[in-house]
């Protein structure tokens, strides 16, 4: 009976697996997310991405690869762009976080959001929140001037619809609107 043998093997394997890991102990943390103070109690293995999406219902930030390779989870932590999937929320205790939901002010779109619409800088839209947060970080850094430099410093954000030319054009428009070159 192959199935019975397989089930027996699984039982043996389960018995051999040593429960060396602790049970969840939740840790209280405070985050300022999009200008609002939030208190959370999280297991230490909760990433900042999961804290935002699953605990604060801010699902604008996307989970793409979950390994820091695609950039869909990009948010600003204390003003700098990071991959939220590779950050443990407990390590960001006390931090200020800005997500795509926090960029618009008083009902007016952020210049990057408007520029992405103006330039049709997406197709499916899944990478867009990460692209826009990453571009916001790029503009704040002030290092990118030329299109080559924008391309290089946006390379951590993958767009599988390949809207790259329009994304670069949108970022250039937002830089102009926001007083950066070009």
- Which residues sit at the interface with another protein, rule CB under 8 A? 20-25, 27, 43-45, 47, 66-68, 71, 74, 80-83, 86-88, 90-91, 134, 137-138, 141, 143, 146, 148-149, 151-153, 155-157
Q: What torsion do the CA atoms of 143, 175, 37, 125 make, to the nearest 10 degrees?
A: -110
The smaller minimum CB distance to another protein, of residues 55 and 114, is found at: 55
Output the DSSP codes for 137-160: HHHHHT---SHHHHHHHTTTS--T
How far apart are CB 108 and another protein at their closest, in Å?
A: 27
How far apart are CB 20 and another protein at their closest, in Å?
A: 6
CA nearest neighbour of 30 among 8, 56, 9: 56
The smaller minimum CB distance to another protein, of residues 22 and 106, is found at: 22
Task: Give the three-class secondary structure for 171.
Answer: helix
Q: Please say whether the beta carbons of 128 and 88 come within 8 A.
A: no
How far apart are CB 93 and another protein at their closest, in Å?
A: 9
The smaller minimum CB distance to another protein, of residues 20 and 105, is found at: 20
* Alpha helices (H) along the chain: 2-16, 48-50, 111-118, 128-141, 147-153, 164-177
How far apart are CB 107 and another protein at their closest, in Å?
A: 29
The smaller minimum CB distance to another protein, of residues 8 and 145, is found at: 145
């Amino acid at each position: 009976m192959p199935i019975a043998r397989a089930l027996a093997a699984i039982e043996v394997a389960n018995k051999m697996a040593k429960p060396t890991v602790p049970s969840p102990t939740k840790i209280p943390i405070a985050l300022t997310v999009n200008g609002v103070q939030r208190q959370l109690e999280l297991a230490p293995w909760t990433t900042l991405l999961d804290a935002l999406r699953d605990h604060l219902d801010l699902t604008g930030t996307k989970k793409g690869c979950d390994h820091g390779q695609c950039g869909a989870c990009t948010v600003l932590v204390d003003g700098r762009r990071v991959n939220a999937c590779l950050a443990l929320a407990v390590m960001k205790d006390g931090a200020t976080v800005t997500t795509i939901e926090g960029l618009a002010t008083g009902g007016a779109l952020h210049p990057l959001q408007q520029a992405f619409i103006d330039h049709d800088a997406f197709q499916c839209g899944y990478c867009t929140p990460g692209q826009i947060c990453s571009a916001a970080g790029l503009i704040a850094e002030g290092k990118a001037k030329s299109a080559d430099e924008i391309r290089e410093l946006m390379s951590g954000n993958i767009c599988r619809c390949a809207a790259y030319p329009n994304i670069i054009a949108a970022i250039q428009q937002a830089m102009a609107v926001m007083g950066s070159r070009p």
